[in-house]
A and B are shown apart, each in its own frame.
Chain A
């Protein structure tokens, strides 16, 4: 079946460091791709999304580009803050799946001052 693979965590960075969290997907066709963030004790929040190849999603300094040729949607941020500490989930949704999201396993990010 279709799946999403994220880089293993946890990831620990110092404040202002550069962040990359890798994500690859296996869906056929042209799925929509998402990054969700889960802060401690809270539900998931949509961070950014891209719906077609070469689209770049961006929000709060985070970016991810939909790469069809490498089936990837890596999350990047140029300068992380302590407040970015959370769990990040990559997800895909196939066009025929009526909104069903398939998530990666999640990557725990901890940012130290």
Chain B
């Protein structure tokens, strides 16, 4: 158990809908990352927050948005869903936002599997 929790575990919804994925980082971690894992694109970085502020952005679609709240949990909002958005969405957390030392290791949650029908 990494200490990172994600809800829900599974989500099935229809095209055009909007969903919210939730992530609670490990206790004490200030940085949260979102990744998308799909069969055709592999594992891709979406966005990162540190202590409530956006720090880095990857290949995140404009239909997607995220935020990190004062209690450090994060939500990823996906809107106008398309079939191609079906994927496993991972959240990861780390103490600080850069690598190098043990404190900066990213711990991954179990993921939310989104199926768009």
Instruction: Tell me if A82 is interfacial: C-beta within 8 Å of chain B.
Output: no
- Within the complex, the shortest CB–CB distance from A86 to chain B, in Å, comes to 13
**Least CB separation from A104: chain B residue:** B42
- Within the complex, the shortest CB–CB distance from A40 to chain B, in Å, comes to 12
Instruction: Tell me if B74 is interfacial: C-beta within 8 Å of chain A.
Output: no
Pick the contact of A42: B45, B92, B98, B110 (CB < 8 A).
B110
CB under 8 Å from chain B, chain A span 15-50: 32, 34, 36, 41-46, 49
Residues on A lying within 8 angstroms of B by beta carbon are 32, 34, 36, 41-46, 49, 51, 89, 93, 95, 97-106
Residues on B lying within 8 angstroms of A by beta carbon are 2, 4, 31, 33, 35, 42-45, 48, 50, 55-56, 58, 90, 92, 94, 96-100, 104-111
**Can you list 14 A-B pairs, Cβ within 8 angstroms, ordered by A?**
A36-B108, A43-B110, A46-B105, A46-B106, A89-B43, A98-B55, A98-B97, A99-B31, A99-B48, A99-B97, A100-B33, A100-B45, A103-B42, A106-B43
